[in-house]
Chain A
Amino acid sequence: MANKAEAHWEKTKSLMFLTLAIWFFFSIFIFMFGSSLNNASFLGYPLAYYMCAQGSLAAFVILIFWSSGKQNSIDEEHGYGEDD
């Protein structure tokens, strides 16, 4: 029981760190280089403008859907799945 819970928590923690690393990239890291990023363009928008207008926002939505799905499979794998 204890080992099962520990293994589950280890995996949960790794997923959390991975999620927050991706979050850091899209929320903070890229905006450290805003002015050089803006020289590139995407869909005709300057890139830094595009990222804060919708790119990063969309990345967060996808990231949460992905990580919640991932967490569900971790839960199920360790026998902590819920049915609803």
Chain B
Amino acid sequence: MFKGNFIDNLPKIYGTYTGGFLVFCLLMALLESNGVSAKTIGILFLIFTIAIYALIGVLSRTMQADAYYVAGRQVPTVFNGMATAADWMSGASFVAMAGGIFYGGYTYMAFLVGWTGGYVLVSSLLAPYLRKFGCYTVPDFIGTRYGGKFVRFCAVLVLVLASFTYVTAQINATGTIASRFLGIPFELGVWVGLISILLCSMLGGMRAVTWTQVAQYIVLIIAYLLPIFWLSNKFGFGFFPQFMLGDEVARLGELEKQYGLVKNSAAAVKAAGVPGGLKSLTVSHAGVPEGGMAAWKFISLAICMMVGTASLPHILMRYFTTPSVKSARRSVAWSLFFIFLLYFSAPALATLAKISILDPNLATGIIGKSIADVQAIGWVKEWIAVKQAYIADFNGDGILQLNEWFMRGDVIVLATPEMGGLPYVISGLVAAGGMAAAMSTADGLILAISNALSHDVYYKIIDPKADVAKRLIVARILLVVVGAFGAYIASMRLTSILGSVAWAFDFAMSGLFFPLVLGVWWKRATRQGAIAGMLLGLGAGTAYLIYVAPAFMGNAPWMGIDHLRFGLIGAPICLISMVVVSLMTPAPDAKTQAMVDDVRIPSGKTIL
């Protein structure tokens, strides 16, 4: 299967795979209608998909450095786009985004703009040039462009900090899904998730991760889109919900007015015994908050996410795997297209879920109904039992008001099929999709960290004479160690100390964005400048984070720059210190300048 003309056969191979997966879903539906229990179906979905990924991982094993680090640089444009999309869309994108929109409405959707707009920066400022450079890792570019071991080490430092913040959340997500659907304790689920993740990446490095990510993208996009189309058509909201929910959005506006968006006092919520993390609806769906500060909060969040996207090493390194500079550029466009398919569906899903709960004219509506009736509904009962939903009858009238319904945001994606009364097989599919999303991102991140440690720290700094076999063994050992450390943090439930996924973007933005961009676009940038930029940018950003984050010092944010946006402090300081120090130090030598000239020309040999 993986010989000679494998690349030419890709469309056929993945076509067959997609067909096979759909047949598997039909088979599960058949089993369900024959009385096989929901639990068994959930287990079969997870085991079948993970087994396929592991098989791909084993078949892609390699002992060549080029294949291990950059998949042999032969991943076709469109397939690299799919792999990047899976790499990009994390468990959070898959599970939490629609819930975020459900509760945050327009304000939350700054994330959507931020997590897509960043790719414009990737394609025009970075990806093609890094591909021309021919590096194995992102610190490899920094280390060679600026010259020196210390500058390389600084880049590794930023990479590890940003990627590790991100990866524990992914391992956490795999653990949650594995424990819920396999019926095992969370602590064990985390390790099951980790083993699945390592099976995909350990033997084949980037090559294996690439081909499993393509397979995971196919599963996750089917799992996300199928319930949305099904629900929308079932309730007659429109054949193509992404474009046809205008009326429903308007209707939500009316319902919000009718019910009133009441904010419960913290004391009342506490007195009613609402479990932590559950929220009631308080923010308008499509309404834009008035005022300059609200607009600034939207824009500043979008900026952080965009610039952060363009600095995240696990994304940038995906564009090292294409056959040419031209295809790297094109591949960014395909990546964003595949990401777009999910992201423009998330608001549709949030709208569908919201209207099916809120609208009293629909059979699925629960607001305004008697609490006793609502509590008897199957999915409500189940989610209340696991403390993911809660009803607090504040006014004691026995009728469910909008402000009396509490739910965790993540429930939206997982429970929507049940809310809409779809068969359980869809819930199993959604679980497999969430698992695919979390696994693919975790694989990309763990590989980015361990490759930087093995290639940049071990090979380039500690032991430059090591042969390929030894380097690849070290790479694998580090892969397991990094993964195990992440799983350990997740299993100890320490993830909350690492805060939000958004922090990863802010760390990357503070330390890496300008050193990368100016490395290509400003010949005058020097080693000392880059070191100053990375250390001061990262230092300032981190210091501000500690100053402002509620988990640490919790001071009042300056100009609305809270802990989700600390990159707005780090990145400008990085830029200023990098420019000032560069201008104070002698210009880079002729050889470096010639290298930068060469990077800017797409054709010809790579530089390394």
Contacts and interface: CB of A to CB of B under 8 A. Distances in A.
Interface of A: 5, 8-9, 12, 15-16, 19-20, 23, 26-28, 31-35, 37-38, 41, 43-46, 48-49, 52-54, 56-58, 60-61, 63-65, 67-68, 71-72, 75, 79-82, 84
A44 B247 contact: yes
A57 B113 contact: yes
Contact of A54 (B242, B247, B332): B242
A52 B286 CA distance: 10
B103 interface: no
A61 B336 contact: yes
Nearest to A68: B329
19 contacts: A5-B601, A27-B114, A35-B295, A43-B246, A44-B247, A44-B249, A46-B249, A49-B286, A52-B113, A53-B112, A57-B116, A57-B344, A60-B120, A67-B123, A68-B330, A71-B128, A79-B603, A80-B604, A84-B323
Interface string B280-314: 00000111111100110011001100100000000
Contact of B602 (A54, A57, A67, A75): A75
Nearest to B336: A61
Given A32-B295, A45-B246, 11 more contacts: A16-B125, A27-B120, A28-B302, A31-B299, A34-B295, A35-B291, A45-B245, A49-B285, A57-B113, A60-B340, A61-B337
Contacts of A67: 123-124
Interface residues of B, number: 58
A41 B246 contact: yes
Nearest to B343: A57
B11 to A, nearest CB: 17
A60 to B, nearest CB: 5
B113 A44 contact: no
Contacts of B116: 56-57, 60-61
A66 to B, nearest CB: 9
B270 interface: no
B344 A58 contact: yes
Nearest to A65: B333
Nearest to A54: B344
A80 B600 CA distance: 10
Nearest to B332: A64
Contact of A49 (B106, B119, B124): B106
B302 A27 contact: yes
B201 to A, nearest CB: 27
B106 A27 contact: no
Interface in B308-333: 323-327, 329-330, 332-333
B250 interface: yes
Contacts of B249: 44-46, 49
Nearest to B335: A64
B124 A19 contact: yes
Contacts of A71: 128, 329
Contacts of A35: 288-291, 294-295
B603 A80 contact: yes
B3 to A, nearest CB: 22
B117 interface: yes
Contacts of B199: none
A51 B288 CA distance: 12
A51 to B, nearest CB: 8
A38 B288 contact: yes
B173 to A, nearest CB: 24
Q: In this complex, which of A23, A37, A41 has the most chain B Cβ atoms within 10 angstroms of its Cβ? A: A23
Contact of A63 (B120, B323, B327): B120
Given A64-B123, A82-B603, A56 B597 contact: no
B333 A64 contact: yes
A15 B285 CA distance: 37
Nearest to A39: B288
B389 interface: no
B511 interface: no
B324 to A, nearest CB: 5
Q: In this complex, which of B124, B285, B330 has the most chain A Cβ atoms within 10 angstroms of its Cβ? A: B124
A68 to B, nearest CB: 4
Contacts of B333: 61, 64-65, 68
Nearest to B290: A35
A26 B112 CA distance: 12
Contacts of A65: 333, 337
A54 B114 CA distance: 12
Given A58-B340, A67-B124, A75-B603, A45 B306 contact: no
A34 B327 contact: no
A79 to B, nearest CB: 8
A45 to B, nearest CB: 5
A12 B336 contact: no
Contact of A23 (B106, B117, B250, B602): B117
B120 A20 contact: yes
